Amino acid sequence: MLKRFIPDQYVKSIYEISISELKEQGIKGIITDLDNTLVEWDRPDATEELIEWFEYVRSEGLEIVIVSNNNEKRVKHFADPHNITFIHSAKKPMSRAFKTACRILNLKHSETVVIGDQLLTDILGGNRTGFHTVLVVPVAQTDGFFTKINRRLERVVFRQMKKKGLIKWTIEKEEK
């Protein structure tokens, strides 16, 4: 059961993800979470650094779809200026939005990576649907109400995975 929560990769931020390595693995598309993965959950717009990352990813031939549990207004406001396709109210970890994103990208699961900051939504959903998954440290140290609940459960899952020797790394928040 715990193996469903283990990401294929763990990095501190999206900027540490090697796009060239992903391409070598045959990855052509990115399904990414929005809040606390790309920007803080309460930041309405992309940072300059993130805009440069979007441009770089596209220049390398990869497409991006944002899959978020947040509402349409929030996700649309963020994604539209950057011409990024999005799925809002995704109900992650349910697999439907991940499969829809893959169809939008017109790619196979094996050609797509899922990036997110939560085990219980992004990683579980991506793993259940057969994607390569990348867990990033949350951009902000604060969360919305429902995410706070998820984070508590997530810490329990992390401790169990570590105790059983399923992971060697620690989540950033626990290291402090």
The string of DSSP letters for 90-158 reads --TTSSHHHHHHHHHHT--GGGEEEEES-IIIIIHHHHHTT-EEEEE--SSS---HHHHHHHHHHHHHH
Name the burial class of residue 90, with classes exposed (0-12), middle (13-18) and buried (19+) by CB atoms within 10 angstroms of its CB: buried
Domain boundaries, the chain: 2-175
Question: What's the rounded Cα separation, in Å, for the pair 150 and 10?
Answer: 18
Question: What's the rounded Cα separation, in Å, for the pair 173 and 176?
Answer: 6
pTM: 0.86
Report the pLDDT value the prediction gives residue 175, as an integer from 0 to 100.
Answer: 40
The mean pLDDT value for 15-29 works out to 97
Longest dimension (CA), the chain: 44
Secondary-structure class of domain 2-175 per CATH? alpha beta
Decide if 125 contacts 94 (C-beta within 8 A).
Answer: yes
**Helix or strand holding residue 21 (H, E):** helix 19-24
Question: What's the rounded Cα separation, in Å, for the pair 5 and 124?
Answer: 5
The mean pLDDT value for 6-23 works out to 95
Give residues with Cβ within 8 angstroms of 147, minimum separation 6. Answer: 35, 36, 41, 118
Confidence of residue 152 (pLDDT cuts 50, 70, 90): confident
Average pLDDT of every residue of the chain: 89
Amino acid at 23: K
Decide if 54 contacts 64 (C-beta within 8 A).
Answer: yes
Report the pLDDT value the prediction gives residue 173, as an integer from 0 to 100.
Answer: 47
Length of the chain: 176
